[in-house]
């Protein structure tokens, strides 16, 4: 590697994409440094997927303890202490942060706990130091977007949700996407009165329509309230610390906490990208080609800051592809087709491939198979929630081009199905597989 620069690679941001790129590049023999101004681990580990999923597990006990009675378990005097769960989750996050830091250290990646700013195609200011690098990788991720309205400073985002002192009696959650619906389920199970305020007329845009409709029916039955076509107008804070949220198309809503989950925007503010001629596009996303290269040949970008697909496993693949291409002599690009995703709502949902409407618009003639059933556990628990599984099939080829589901453990089931859909298996091949009985997943091979 060249000695003309302090480093072969300087990575800005130690989240999922940046850490993978740094680690693999170092393993390929590059001299690598990474700067992280907050905490090593990034959104997913520190204030995203990991702590969120732990809260989802914690919230699920509310229903499990209730259902246990029907299975003969007498659980008396059960009570919930938010601070115990919160602190245990934060401790686990700290443990993981330590592991990520150890990984970088063991690969001899130099870690700067400081803000890095690009000052040219091959130079950066890190804290009060100036360093040079043959290549710079921007992996600064994204942050919650906050609606522009008077009083918006009184709301929190998912970042702060993991640190609150006490559960609110009433919470308003702004947004209709996966983060809004996940936290609606979490707070509802913990006993808060939840109102979801959505600017448009639907939740979970882009997900399979029947599946998201089912989530809405179940959420409504659980007591979550929805307000659609309700853009934010203003937030008023009262002397007793309560809030009144004024939205379009309806009465104001009184609450004790307001959480914004209204999308995420790439973190590019003050990064100095313009000094190196790095172009950005829609909502500040860094423009990159298939090799993750920006409009400046020595600067690359991966993950949410590029706003291609905002998912942790995608950022990791982009980081891996970058390292293998630039330092590993094995050029590779990421395949963005058929990426599975999940929403850890109550109950969770997951999907891969085309929705029914996408398939009709793209392929023309399709076959749609559904299984609408009450999981065995729900039947005995006297819980009236129904699961819904759906397969979308290309009529011309018999290939399964989409699979969508809502119900207990749907994300766990869908991961295996995603392999089959990605591989282009046919409905006949699904049908050829013998069912595992009794399971929920067997419905996937029994749809006639």
Structure tokens at 6: 């302090």
> Which residue in the block uniquely carries the two structure tokens 């769960």?
85
Rounded to a whole number, what is the distance in angstroms from the first to the last CA of the chain? 60
Residues 16 and 112 in one domain: yes
What is the predicted pLDDT for the residue at 1? Answer: 52
**Model confidence pLDDT, tens digit, residues 348-368:** 999 999 999 999 999 989 999
Residues 136 and 159 in one domain: no
Structure tokens at 166: 């006490």
Please report whether residue 173 resides in a domain.
yes
Structure tokens at 388: 């819904």
Give the integer Cα–Cα distance in Å for 29 and 436: 47
Residues 105 and 217 in one domain: no
What is the predicted pLDDT for the residue at 2? Answer: 54
Please report whether residue 371 resides in a domain.
yes
Give the integer Cα–Cα distance in Å for 136 and 34: 10
Give the integer Cα–Cα distance in Å for 48 and 172: 19
Picking from 262, 277, 305, the residue at the C-terminal end of a domain is 262
Catalytic residue positions? 437
Residues 104 and 28 in one domain: yes
Q: What is the CATH number of the domain that holds 192?
A: 3.50.50.60
Picking from 262, 286, 310, the residue at the C-terminal end of a domain is 262
Supply the range of the domain harboring residue 134. Answer: 7-143+265-326
**Model confidence pLDDT, tens digit, residues 46-78:** 999 999 999 999 999 999 999 999 999 999 989
pLDDT, mean of each 10-residue run, the chain (448 residues): 85 97 97 96 94 97 96 94 98 96 95 96 95 98 95 96 97 97 98 97 96 98 97 96 95 98 95 95 93 97 95 97 97 96 98 97 96 96 97 98 98 98 98 97 95
Give the integer Cα–Cα distance in Å for 21 and 291: 13
Picking from 215, 232, 262, the residue at the C-terminal end of a domain is 262
Residues 89 and 168 in one domain: no
Cβ-based neighbours of 286, under 8 Å, separated by 6 or more: 138, 266, 268, 273, 278, 279, 280, 294, 301, 305, 306
Please report whether residue 340 resides in a domain.
no
CA distances from 57 to 139, 323, 344, 376 (A): 29, 35, 10, 20
Please report whether residue 185 resides in a domain.
yes
Q: How many domains is the chain partitioned into structurally?
A: 3
What is the predicted pLDDT for the residue at 421? Answer: 98
Residues 418 and 281 in one domain: no
Please report whether residue 216 resides in a domain.
yes
What is the predicted pLDDT for the residue at 282? Answer: 81
What is the predicted pLDDT for the residue at 448? Answer: 85
What is the predicted pLDDT for the residue at 44? Answer: 94
Residues 256 and 273 in one domain: no
Structure tokens at 159: 């970042």
Residues 12 and 129 in one domain: yes
Residues 136 and 273 in one domain: yes
Please report whether residue 317 resides in a domain.
yes
Please report whether residue 116 resides in a domain.
yes
Residues 125 and 21 in one domain: yes
- Residues 216/160, Cβ–Cβ less than 8 Å: no
Residues 321 and 405 in one domain: no
What is the predicted pLDDT for the residue at 94? Answer: 96
Residues 139 and 14 in one domain: yes
Please report whether residue 341 resides in a domain.
no
Give the integer Cα–Cα distance in Å for 271 and 41: 20
Q: What is the CATH number of the domain that holds 351?
A: 3.30.390.30
């Amino acid at each position: 590697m060249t000695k003309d620069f302090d480093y072969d690679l300087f990575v800005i941001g130690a989240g999922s994409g940046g850490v993978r790129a740094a680690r693999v590049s170092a393993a390929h023999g590059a001299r690598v440094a990474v700067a992280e101004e907050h905490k090593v681990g990034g959104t997913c580990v520190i204030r995203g997927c990991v702590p969120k999923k732990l809260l989802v597990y914690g919230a699920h006990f509310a229903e499990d303890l209730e259902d246990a009675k029907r299975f003969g378990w007498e659980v008396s005097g059960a009570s919930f202490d938010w601070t115990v769960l919160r602190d245990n989750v934060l401790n686990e996050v700290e443990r993981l942060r330590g592991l990520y830091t150890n990984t970088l250290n063991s690969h001899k990646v130099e870690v700067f706990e400081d803000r890095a700013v690009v000052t040219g195609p091959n130079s950066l200011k890190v804290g009060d130091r100036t360093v040079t690098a043959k290549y710079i990788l921007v992996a600064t991720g994204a942050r919650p977007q906050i609606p522009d309205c008077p009083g918006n400073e009184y709301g929190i985002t998912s970042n702060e949700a993991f640190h609150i002192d006490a559960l609110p009696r009433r919470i308003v959650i702004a947004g209709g996407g996966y983060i809004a619906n996940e936290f609606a389920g979490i707070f509802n199970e913990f006993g808060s009165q939840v109102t979801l305020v959505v600017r448009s007329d639907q939740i979970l845009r882009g997900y399979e329509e029947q599946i998201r409709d089912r989530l809405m029916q179940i959420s409504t039955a659980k007591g979550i309230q929805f307000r659609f076509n309700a853009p934010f107008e203003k937030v008023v804070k009262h002397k007793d610390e309560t809030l009144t949220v004024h939205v379009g198309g309806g009465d104001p809503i009184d609450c004790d906490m307001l959480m914004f989950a209204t999308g995420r925007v790439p973190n590019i503010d003050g990064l100095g990208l313009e000094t190196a001629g790095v172009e950005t596009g829609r909502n500040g996303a860094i423009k990159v080609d298939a090799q993750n290269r920006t409009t400046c040949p020595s600067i690359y970008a991966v993950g949410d800051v590029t706003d291609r697909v905002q998912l942790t496993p995608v950022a990791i693949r982009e980081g891996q592809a970058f390292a293998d291409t630039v330092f590993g002599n094995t050029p590779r690009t990421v395949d963005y087709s058929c990426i599975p995703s999940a929403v850890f709502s109550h109950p969770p949902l997951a999907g891969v491939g085309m929705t029914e409407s996408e398939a009709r618009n793209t392929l023309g003639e399709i076959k749609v198979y559904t299984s609408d059933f009450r999981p065995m556990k729900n039947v005995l628990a006297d819980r009236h929630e129904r699961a819904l599984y759906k397969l979308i099939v290309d009529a011309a080829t018999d290939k399964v081009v989409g699979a969508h589901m809502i119900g207990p453990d749907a994300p766990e089931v869908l991961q295996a199905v995603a392999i089959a859909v990605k591989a282009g298996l046919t409905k006949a091949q699904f049908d050829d597989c013998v069912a595992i009985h009794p399971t929920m997943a067997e419905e996937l091979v029994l749809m006639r």
